[in-house]
A = this chain, B = another copy of it.
Amino acid sequence: MTNCIIASTSTIHGSQPLEYLFEALIELYKDKGEVLFIPYARPGGISHDEYTIGVNNIFKKINKKIMSIHMFESPKEAFKNVQAIYTGGGNTFLLVDQLYRNNCIQLIKDAVASGIPYLGTSAGSNICGLTMQTTNDMPIVHPPSLQTLGIVPFNINPHYLDPDPTSTHKGETRETRIKEFHNLNSQPVVGLREGSWLRVYNNDITLEGKLSARIFEQHKAPYELESGSSLKEFN
């Protein structure tokens, strides 16, 4: 029993944070009053307190109370009576480093496996893949491992961006970077565009939102997967 939303981004253009997901979150978190927040990714370098205050203000709108993991005596204590989880975005290297250093990887895995609803956005979604190796972030810290939760049997590239055919920039496109990844690694990569999310429920994984996703499999040309499709084929 797994019950997760894995979203490309917390915020879409022209909308308040998480607003586009409110309906889906009300369903995900139904019957749960309190959500355990994991602020370790610290977007823009803000503090755990600042991040928690901001997220608490958003979750008030759907009548959920936020308790941040950093407010507990220990992460173990935080997970003792956990009802629901939200891991926010920011820097994926920092998030994964902190998850390892605070011994949280197994705690989250166990909670998710037991059916505790989980929401991830951006970096918080990236960690739902097999590894964080298809992050877009800078390695501002050096985590002990790049292995992540493996809630889904593939890697995720959040904030997926299509190559811009008019660009004169010579830095690698997202597609080139993922190609480099596949030269050394075999797992599929799901490029989730902003506004898309994966709904993981029991053993099914469905692409939600209005957009298609870009799928990258080793030794295959990348292709589009339409919204509403199942991603079970990778299982």
Contacts and interface: CB of A to CB of B under 8 A. Distances in A.
A194 B10 CA distance: 31
Given A42-B183, A44-B179, A179-B45, A169 B140 contact: no
A44 B176 contact: yes
Contacts of A137: 172, 177, 180
Contact of A140 (B14, B133, B136): B133
Question: Oligomeric state, in number of copies?
Answer: 2
Interface stretch (A25-33, A141-149, A199-207): A141-149
24 contacts: A9-B170, A13-B169, A13-B170, A42-B183, A43-B180, A44-B176, A44-B180, A90-B180, A91-B180, A93-B139, A122-B171, A132-B139, A133-B138, A134-B138, A136-B138, A136-B172, A137-B172, A138-B180, A138-B181, A139-B146, A140-B177, A142-B145, A142-B146, A159-B170
Interface of A: 9-14, 42-45, 90-91, 93-94, 122, 132-142, 145-146, 158-159, 161, 168-172, 176-185, 194
